[in-house]
Structure 1
Amino acid sequence: MEMFFRAQDTLRSFRETKLSGFRPITEFFDIHRISRPADANQAFSRITHNTRYFSGNYMIIISALAVYALLTNTTLLIALVFLIGGFIAINRFAPDPFQVGDRTITQKHLYTGLFVIGIPLLFFASPFGTLFWLVGASALVILTHACLNEPGVESEYAQVDEVA
């Protein structure tokens, strides 16, 4: 029960800190503010402003792409479930050595067996390809949105406040 409350507190603090920058969908997809930047300096300025302003929305995009990547790469999903589930099962159900016939099985033996099976399975699931796809797809979506979306009027006032 204590673990449930700890997880709930962690989720609450994550929501308060990371998702505090979440903006409404109507503001995020405002088609009236989409325009091509005049030059590279304006594009860089827009990217700088919008990545801070829409940080919560971009976190949700990255999370959705990560879930999509896991669901489409079933081998990676199975490997991760096997390794994480095996680690949890060994910690929960086999904290002490036990006898099987005339052999004593320890946690070290169980972890060795888990990793001998799980690491090659993880290797064949191409986690690095999935990770690189996730980074590339996230960067493409986020940088395109941040570059094409004009900052609102509030960004002009933010620069005045910083100077004063």
Structure 2
Amino acid sequence: MEQLARVGDLARNFRETKLSTLKSPQEFFDHRQLSRPANMNEATSRITYNTRHFSGNYLLLIIVLAVYAMLTNPLLLIAIAFLAGGFAAINKFAPEPVQVGSQTITQKHLYTGLFVIGLPLLFFASPVSTFFWLVGSSSILILGHASLMEPGVESEYQGVEGV
């Protein structure tokens, strides 16, 4: 129960801090603000401004791409579910050693069995290539969007303080 409360607190904190910065789809996909930057300095300043301005939208984009990557790689999904479920089951149902015939089975034995089965399964699921696909695809999308979107008028007054 305590772990569920912690997960709930983390989800609430995530929603309050990161997802509260989400911009509307009309603002995020405003095609009237799209233009090619004149030079590298302008592209860099656009990327700097837009990554802060649209940080919640970019985080949501990464989450959607990660879910897509997991759903299109079912072996990876099975391997992660097997390992996570195995950890949860061992912690919940086998905290104490169990006597089976003349053998005593401890948590260490169960974890060893979980790793002997789970790690080769995870290896064949190719998590490294999935990770690099996620990094590459999200980088291309985010940097492309951030460099092509012109900053709004409010960016001109960002450093100005009220008198």
2:59 match: 59
Question: After alignment, is 81-90 or 17-26 more displaced?
Answer: 17-26
Residue-by-residue CA offset, 1:59-108 (whole Å, 9 max, x unaligned): 00000000000010111111100001000000000000111121110000
2:144 match: 144
1:54 Cα deviation from its structure 2 partner: 0.2
SS state at 1:159 partner: coil
1:10 Cα deviation from its structure 2 partner: 1.6
Counterparts of 1:9-158 in structure 2 under 5 Å? 9-158=9-158
Q: Distance in 2 between matches of 1:70 and 1:57?
A: 20
TM-score (norm. length: structure 2):
0.95
Q: Distance in 2 between matches of 1:64 and 1:20?
A: 17
1:139 Cα deviation from its structure 2 partner: 0.2
1:9 Cα deviation from its structure 2 partner: 1.9
| Total equivalences in the alignment | 163
5+ residue gaps, structure 2: none
1:17 Cα deviation from its structure 2 partner: 1.2
TM-score (norm. length: structure 1):
0.95
Q: Which has the higher helix share?
A: 1
Q: Supply the AA of the counterpart residue of 2:151.
A: P
Q: Distance in 2 between matches of 1:12 and 1:123?
A: 34
1:7 Cα deviation from its structure 2 partner: 2.2
1:8 Cα deviation from its structure 2 partner: 2.0
CA RMSD of aligned residues (A): 1.5
5+ residue gaps, structure 1: none
Residue-by-residue CA offset, 1:89-137 (whole Å, 9 max, x unaligned): 0000000011112111000000000001101111111110000000000
Q: Distance in 1 between matches of 2:121 and 2:8?
A: 32
Q: Distance in 2 between matches of 1:71 and 1:14?
A: 23
